[in-house]
Structure 1
Amino acid sequence: MLNVENNTDDETHRRALAVEGAMLMLIDGLAARGTISADEAEDMLRILSKSSDFSAARASGSLRIIDHLRRLRGGDGQVTPGA
């Protein structure tokens, strides 16, 4: 019984990491294409990063990308050039 619960917990953890990874890629891609603004992307990434220290570390790379996008767009976090 304990082994089944442990396997279920492991599977749930793996799936959560996969969903988080997909969300990070989606947010990065939407922001890079200009579908969402850098400010919107940053807001979503901050929410994801609050779930755990590991999530914060994973989101930090995306936050750096968003910061670069903001600088490329003249510091305007609201601009969505591809929208």
Structure 2
Amino acid sequence: MELVYTLAYAMKAKSNKPSKKVPTTYPLKIQAIRSRGQQPRLYVSFPLALAAAIGLNPGDEVQWELLDRGELHLVRLSSAPPLAKRRAREN
């Protein structure tokens, strides 16, 4: 039996520099759905990375809050249950 240690030896050492931050802006396009005999409907697709970061799941109820012509807020009507099974310890 032969053990190979070259993989760990060849790997670069992990640096102490801060890692790249996840983007906090997610550009997207509004999609128009046009059905015969109906008014066009506009759809906004939600990026999966952003949904995962805030715990948004299919079927969650949300609503838009219009602040002005250039700013909308997405408000969750009912908060998601916590994923942790127990509370974190206080130091």
Task: Give TM-score, length-normalised by structure 2.
Answer: 0.24
Structure that is richer in helix per residue: 1
Larger-Rg structure? 2
Structure that is richer in strand per residue: 2
